[in-house]
Amino acid sequence: MTTDTFPASGRPVRARRGLWSRYLRRPVGVVALAVFLLVVAAALLAPLLAPHDPNFVDYTLTKAPPGPDHLMGGDSAGRDIYSRLLYGARTTLYGAAVACLTGILLGVPTGVAAGYFGGRTDRICSSISDGVQSVPGMIVLLIVAAGTGSNFTVLMITIGVFMAPGYYRISRSRALAVRREPYIDAARVAGLTNVQILRAHMLRAVRAPIVIQSALTGGIAMGMQAGLQFLGIGSASTPSWGAMMNDGYRNMQTHPLILLWPSAALGITIAALAFMGSVLADLLSVRAEPGTRAGRGSAPAAGDEAPTGEPAHPVEGSALRIENLRVAFGGPDGDKRVVHGVCLDAAPREVLGIVGESGSGKSQTVLSVLDLLPAGGRATADGIWVGGREIGALPRGRRHALLGTEIGYVPQEPMTNLDPCYTIGHQLVEPLRVVHRLPKAEARGRAREILLRVGITDPDRVMASYPHQLSGGMAQRVLIAGAVAGRPSLLIADEPTTALDVTVQAEVLELLRELQEEYGMALVIVTHNFGVVADICDRVVVMKDGRVVETGPVGRIFADPGDPYTAELIRASLDDTESRIDLDAAHDQAGQAVEA
């Protein structure tokens, strides 16, 4: 139960409620939002803010330069540009809002329905969406303008219709992704109708992308709207930025300022929307924080914590030795330490198990040896030795040259570690040609030989196959073949059997054991399963919360665990516990004892 208690209140709360505050922490986002709010305020308060009637013509003001009474001067008809700009913001925002709303109303429900129901609904909706996209929008807009006497609202609704496919496509792809989530099945089993599922789960899923899309759509709608007004479409009595640009354009040679004001207003508003959209997109998608990606510089310091674990062999006689390894991940809330000074080693021909629960830092420890930590992770150590040679201080290129030659690596997920675009043969032969500089024919021969060795009976067929044509167990054999093809002295396997069925797991463990003996490799195997440890390991390192709890030979660890945590983990394996029948008998007995 110890690991399953409720999180302490001190734990930072992540995700949803944080979105707003995370947005406000981005300077670009804050500036863009402030600019946009300013435009909105200007539009709403135009009657209060505008010093003059926007349509009042004062001939003395014609093409006047900016002055104290007329901040931006007058236009070619003698109207106050500043007042017209404020009122023009109303037109612009109203138009953009109408267009976005139309797009959302048409695109989102159809997109969600198409993604959720699929089949015929999807085919019909998608054809309509594609059809709308292939219609030349500007021509339709001009026809609509002519037909409706340039009714502004109708025009903006028409623009919205052309924006609908954008909304449709995002909603559909989100719904397609969410439809396969188990929580949709759970909702169905819970007795929700399709309508309830669409409303409760699907609309929630598309909310965020729709907001982002609206920021972009709004900008585009403003641009198109200004374009129409520039062409002279729209009411002459309502001030608009597009019409003002037209006026400025005609006097561009003599009075460039008249063009500058509305163009700047439009440009800044669209840019603000675009930046808001991109900041939101950045926050909502799972991307590494920009600061941490390049942040290899600041390494986790030794700190005041004592290193845990101790090596059992001299440096010269070890296949792998790690001293005082620290790993930290950079994040928005500062560095998070995941490994706190770990020491361990493995002798040649020894099988070392690193065992622990999720979050114990066991994978991070071996990934540091490989220099393959995920983005944002940084490792420092007093020393990392492979085959008695210090490699911790080598430059990255030299470190990576060790992979495939000195060190072989078998990952956890066989499928995601094979490139779906290339045949198995290609993925095995290329490293041999590049790293070991073997001629093509020889590399093929070697790959074939190794596939036979890992128990693949028809290597030629497998080499011609693509990863999706193989089963999980077969794919793991291929990866093991790739890992040992370079005859490494150290093979590192990170949870190599966790994604596999038990019967396949037994086969893969047997294969690893045979290869380790045959090639005389040291094998470091990371696992959470004490059964796997008992099956294959000579020595064990038990880890918890980034520290070594204890180290020892496998027999001693199981017979006489030195730490209560180790004992708890071993007890948690279910192979020798009481069965349900025993448990019920004990329960009944206890019940009778209470009654008696």
Among 60, 237, 254, 503, binds other proteins (CB under 8 A): 503
With CB under 8 A as the contact rule, the residue among 71, 101, 271, 506 that binds other proteins is 506
User: Is residue 531 involved in binding other proteins (CB under 8 A)?
Assistant: yes
How far is it, in rounded angstroms, from Cα 560 to Cα 552? Answer: 10
- Tell me how far the alpha carbon of residue 506 is from its chain's centroid: 34
CB 512 within 8 A of CB 523: yes
- Please provide residue 279's backbone torsions phi and psi, each rounded to the nearest 5 degrees: -65, -45
Q: Which helix (H) or strand (E) holds 369?
A: helix 362-370
Q: Is 572 in the site for other proteins (CB under 8 A)?
A: yes
| Shortest CB 559 distance to other proteins, Å | 9
Q: Return the residue of 17, 120, 396, 468 that touches other proteins, per CB under 8 A.
A: 17
Query: Which tokens hold the place of 358?
Result: 């999720």
Candidates 134-142, 199-207, 288-296, 454-462: pick the segment binding other proteins (CB under 8 A).
Answer: 199-207
Q: Is 357 in the site for other proteins (CB under 8 A)?
A: yes
Q: Which of 502, 593, 594, 596 binds other proteins (CB under 8 A)?
A: 502
One-letter amino acid of 513: R
> Is residue 146 helix, strand or coil?
helix
> Does 16 help bind other proteins (rule: CB under 8 A)?
yes
Rounded least distance, CB 511 to other proteins, Å? 12
Which residues, other chains included, contact 568 with Cβ-Cβ below 8 Å and sequence gap of 6+? 2
Q: Is residue 585 at the binding interface for other proteins, with CB under 8 A as the rule?
A: no
Select the span of 223-231, 272-280, 410-418, 564-572 touching other proteins (CB under 8 A): 564-572
Query: Among 53, 69, 130, 185, which residue sits at the site for other proteins (rule: CB under 8 A)?
Result: 185
Q: 93 and 40 in contact (C-beta within 8 Å)? A: yes
Site membership for other proteins, residue 15 (CB under 8 A): yes
* Interacting residue with other proteins among 35, 142, 558, 562 (CB under 8 A): 558
1-11 burial, b at 16+ Cβ within 10 Å, e below that, comes to eeeeeeeeeee
Cβ atoms 137, 165 nearer than 8 A: no
284: contact with other proteins by CB under 8 A = no
505 is a site residue for other proteins (CB under 8 A)? yes
Torsion of CA 142, 148, 150, 156, to 10 degrees: -80
CB atoms within 10 A of CB 298: 10
Quick check: 331 and 347 in contact, CB under 8 A?
no
Helical (H) or strand (E) element with 327: strand 320-329
Tell me which of 222, 533, 542, 548 binds other proteins, using CB under 8 A: 533
* One residue of 259, 509, 541, 548 binding other proteins per CB under 8 A: 509
Q: Does 451 bind other proteins (CB under 8 A)?
A: no
Minimum CB separation of residue 37 from other proteins in Å reads 26
The C-alpha atoms of residue 343 and residue 309 are separated, in whole angstroms, by 5
Name the residue nearer to other proteins (CB basis): 265 or 554.
554
6 belongs to the binding site for other proteins (CB under 8 A) = yes
**Residue 186 touching other proteins (CB under 8 A):** yes
> Total residues contacting other proteins (rule CB under 8 A)?
68
- DSSP conformational letter for 324: E
- Which is it for the CA torsion 293, 294, 298, 299, positive or negative? positive
Binding site for other proteins (CB under 8 A): 1-4, 6-7, 11, 13-17, 181-183, 185-193, 196, 200-201, 204-205, 207, 357-358, 472, 501-506, 509-510, 528-535, 554-555, 558, 568-570, 572-581, 583-584, 587
